[in-house]
Amino acid sequence: MKQENADDAAQRVLIDRTGLTDIYLEQFYTFADISRHDTSFFEGIMKARGMKPTKDHFLLNRFISIGYYALVDFTKAVPATDLLADECKWYDLKKLPPLIQDHQHIINKALCTLREDLDKKLVGFNLLPETFTIGDLQDLYETILGTKFLRTSFQRKMLNLGILKMVEKKMTGAAHKAPYLYKFSSE
pLDDT tens digit string along 11-65?
999 999 999 998 899 999 999 988 777 777 778 878 888 888 788 887 787 888 9
Residue with more model confidence, 72 or 12: 12
Q: Which pLDDT score, from 0 to 100, does residue 159 have?
A: 92
Q: How many CA atoms lie within 13 A of 32 on its CB side?
A: 3
Q: How much is the pTM?
A: 0.77
Residue 137 pLDDT: 93
Tens digit of each residue's pLDDT (9 = 90 or more) over 82-139: 877 778 888 888 899 998 888 999 999 999 999 998 877 778 888 888 899 999 999 9
Q: Where are the alpha helices (DSSP H) in 49-133?
A: 103-120, 123-127
CATH number of 129-187: 1.10.10.10
Residue 138: what pLDDT?
A: 95
Of 56-70, 132-146, 161-175, the poorest mean pLDDT is in 161-175
Domain 1-127 sits in CATH 1.10.287.3510? no
**Contact at 8 Å (CB) between 42 and 60?**
yes
Domain ranges of the chain: 1-127, 129-187
Determine the distance from the C-alpha atom of residue 35 to the mean position of all C-alpha atoms in its chain, rounded to a whole number.
25
Single out the residue of 124, 138, 10 nearest to residue 67, CA to CA: 10
Q: What is the mean pLDDT of residues 75-79?
A: 87
Could you tell me where the DSSP H helices lie in the chain? 6-18, 40-48, 103-120, 123-127, 134-145, 151-160
